Amino acid sequence: MKTVKRFKSHFTPIVELQFPKIAYPEKYTQANGYEAALSTDKDAFWSVVFTLDEEQRKAMWDVGLAHYNDMVQKDNIPPLKDGQLLFRSEKPWKDIEGNPVHGMYQYTAGKPCFNNAGNATRRPEVLNGNREIVSDVSFWGGSTGRIKLSMLCTVNPGKEKLGGIKLYLDKIQLINPIYGGGFEKEPDAPSNSLETATTTEEPTPTAQPQPLPTMTEKIYGEKPPSQPTPPAPPAPTTPSFDLEIEGQEQAAQSNDLDDEIPF
């Protein structure tokens, strides 16, 4: 029987990264909402928020919609309804006063620390411009980089059975990272792809989880007042978007990306 390729890879352009939860993941509880967690927590997940303008949004929608319509034919999922959002995490990007910014949209990509089978997953890789593993992944919001996403078509189990796409976080390529502590690291020169680099295991945490952003920061994307102003990044080269996830058939069957794990 032929394997259905349920996952579709997509590479974003260079985008601004917000609320990165890579050094330490987070989890959601009804009592406290989102809170910092460790990767050994069964409900924890890594995530990052990114923004796209109208043109970038259309490019990602075109890729996602083609994949979704393909799954309608091959995987018996319901077609999208008129006016229905394709990406489940899409929201208008808002300024510090809570007003939607015209032509800007935010998305969240995540990866659970455990799959439905109860097996631990690997933290999303973070690479520099030379496609080398970045050891310090505690970069701040406001850093820039590319994201390698895996698009998964899912169906809401509710009464209306609405379909859509979840964005799974595969890799991040940092182009201009911003770090705290009164210093910032030199930006890496961008490369044309997010090719696979040598994977290292997640280090054992030696510090307490970083404090969560304030509600203003969480909702409106306000940066900490002490955050240093990054230097102008080098002129990026045009990224190649014709790369596919290596071993796509294996990715479609991988327990690391499970259809039913919510973020």
Neighbour count for residue 170 (Cβ, 10 Å) = 23
For residue range 49-105, what is the model confidence (pLDDT) as tens digits? 999 999 999 999 999 999 999 998 888 888 888 778 889 899 988 888 888 888 999
Tell me the backbone φ, ψ of residue 66, rounded to 5 degrees.
Answer: -65, -40
pTM of the complete model: 0.67
Residues 209-220, mean pLDDT to the nearest whole number: 43
% of the chain at pLDDT higher than 90: 47
Q: Extract the tokens encoding 248.
A: 């796509």
Query: Which residue is listed with tokens 């949004």?
Result: 57
**How much is the pLDDT for 65?**
93
Residue-range domain boundaries for the chain: 7-194
Provide the CATH topology of domain 7-194. Answer: OB fold (Dihydrolipoamide Acetyltransferase, E2P) (2.40.50)
What's at 30, amino acid-wise?
Q
